[in-house]
Structure 1
């Protein structure tokens, strides 16, 4: 994004991101989170879950990807979510994480925008208050907010 004009309510990014059991294995290895609810159906169901679940942080990380693709990772200033619903991942096949990102608030003076994400699986919202604060323009090298 360069010099385009944004308005509150504009959809700035969207995506459909597949999650399968192989993704869970890769994420467990990268994160060190080997909780068996993320890879063993018997353990997951024994504790009352519908089956193996995607890691919450994996879901969170995937959900922000359309925004990163749109604005660039260096312009993401802050990101937070509430985990509202687990994401069951079938033994075979995949589950689809559907993401839509809209401008929720513009602060032209600060050169920032709040992007509100809606992340759904099978039509149900899985992340609440998912918000990304982005710089509208690249930060100068000396700016303390630049990364």
Structure 2
């Protein structure tokens, strides 16, 4: 189902999204993105450089924010702009469970040009992992 601009109001909350992230997900993302930095798959290396454990790729975490918005709009092409700051890494332990990223969003503006702005919150291990995260979507009337 596609969200229509006429159905959207400032303050509307997007359906929450909870995503499990495993080491397997990181390996798959590394293959798709070409980012094979060892901090994303080698615990020994990650801890040697001062990280608590293997961490998810920042762009993987940003993609999860995009997924929150695209699932709400019903059309990934509706996203015309998306930006985030990476504030904390998503630590992904090798314990069979991995990490969980909890995402939520709220419409902060509905604009006359047919777009709406969504503020996004992403948390893992009870900490914010993205700052200033937002997306602009163009929705059908």
TM-score by length of 1: 0.88
Per-residue deviation, residues 44-66 of structure 1 (Å, max 9, x unmatched): 11011001000000111012212
Q: 2:100 aligns with which of 90, 96, 114?
A: 96
Q: Which structure has the larger Rg over C-alpha atoms?
A: 1
TM-score, reference length from structure 2: 0.92
| Aligned mate of 2:117, from 114, 118, 143 | 114
Secondary structure at 1:10's aligned position in 2?
coil
**Residues of 1 paired with 2:128 and 2:39: CA distance?**
21
Gaps of at least 5 residues in structure 1 are 139-147
Cα deviation 1:30-79 (Å, max 9, x = unaligned)? 11111101111110110110010000001110122121011111111101
Supply the distance in 2 between the matched residues of 1:2 and 1:49 (Cα, whole angstroms): 43
- Name structure 2 gaps, 5 residues minimum: none
Higher relative contact order (CA 8 A, sep 6+): 2
Deviation at 1:4, TM superposition (A): 4.4
Which one has the bigger strand percentage? Answer: 1
1:12 to 11, 14, 20: 14
Give the count of matched residue pairs. Answer: 137
